[in-house]
């Protein structure tokens, strides 16, 4: 494993769902839930959930680019949420649940644009991708009780009904890809 670490900041609905999946990936050093894309400094979870700060719930994924690439993280991103619904993931509705890639450099921006164009061209989704691509700006870490949320709250109803099934679905898909030799 290399000494290099990069970060990717992604919004795809509830950050608990994204965190739980990205924690499973080899080459990912850590996942931190937080807020990005808004106008209020140091927002709280309650403020963001109120929909008045402009922030999205995001995860900041720290990864070893020699073990897993940004493109690989995007492949996972586009399989674990619906990137065709505007400001919504399942029952979670509001701008804080929007699909977005907050790029940290030009290479990430280019990769995100290329990935979305490829997915749209391939017709993988019936509807066009609505995932926003924007410069990161400021990342605000979420309150510590959001850290490792699924693992610490497995009996919580939202975790049982939404997060755990999403993780289980990803594990099944990921294992099938590995059996076919397709990588991530």
70-79, 93-102, 164-173: the lowest-pLDDT one: 164-173
Q: What is the mean pLDDT of residues 125-129?
A: 92
pLDDT above 70 coverage of the chain, percent: 93
27: alpha, beta or left, given left = phi > 0 and alpha = psi -120 to 50?
Answer: left
Q: So what's the pLDDT on residue 109?
A: 98
Q: Tokens standing for 4? A: 């290099």
Q: So what's the pLDDT on residue 171?
A: 87
Predicted confidence (pLDDT) at residue 41 exceeds the cutoff of 90: yes
Burial class from Cβ neighbours inside 10 Å (0-12, 13-18, 19+) for residue 59 reads buried
Q: So what's the pLDDT on residue 2?
A: 59
Q: What is the CATH number of domain 6-149?
A: 3.30.1060.10
Q: What is the mean pLDDT of residues 36-51?
A: 96
End-to-end CA distance of the chain: 17
- Residue 33 CA to residue 15 CA, distance in Å, equals 6
**Length in residues, the chain:** 184
Residue pair 162/14 in contact (Cβ under 8 Å)? The answer is yes
Tens of pLDDT along 67-87?
999 999 999 999 999 999 999
Tens of pLDDT along 135-167?
999 999 999 999 999 999 999 999 999 999 989
Q: So what's the pLDDT on residue 174?
A: 74
Q: Is 14 a catalytic residue?
A: yes
Q: Alpha carbon 47 to chain centroid distance?
A: 20
Q: So what's the pLDDT on residue 182?
A: 53
pTM: 0.92
Angle subtended by helix axes 70-80 and 106-122, to nearest 10: 50
Q: What is the mean pLDDT of residues 115-127?
A: 94
Which residue of the set 14, 17, 49, 159 is catalytic?
14
Q: So what's the pLDDT on residue 173?
A: 81
């Amino acid at each position: 494993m290399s000494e290099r670490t990069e970060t990717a900041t992604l919004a795809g609905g509830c950050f608990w769902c994204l965190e739980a999946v990205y924690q499973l990936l080899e080459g990912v050093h850590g996942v931190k839930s937080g807020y990005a894309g808004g106008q209020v400094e140091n927002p709280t979870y309650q403020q963001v959930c109120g929909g008045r700060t402009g922030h999205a719930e995001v995860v900041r994924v720290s990864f070893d680019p020699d073990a897993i690439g940004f493109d690989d993280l995007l492949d996972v991103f586009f399989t674990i949420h619906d990137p065709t619904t505007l400001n919504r993931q399942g029952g979670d509705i509001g701008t804080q649940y929007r699909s977005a890639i907050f790029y940290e450099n030009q290479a990430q921006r280019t990769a995100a644009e290329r990935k979305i164009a490829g997915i749209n061209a391939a017709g993988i989704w019936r509807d066009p991708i609505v995932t926003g691509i924007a410069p990161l700006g400021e990342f605000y870490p979420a309150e510590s009780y959001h850290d490792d949320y699924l693992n610490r709250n497995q009996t919580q109803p939202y975790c049982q009904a939404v997060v755990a099934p999403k993780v289980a679905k990803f594990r099944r898909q990921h294992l099938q890809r590995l059996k076919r030799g397709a990588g991530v």
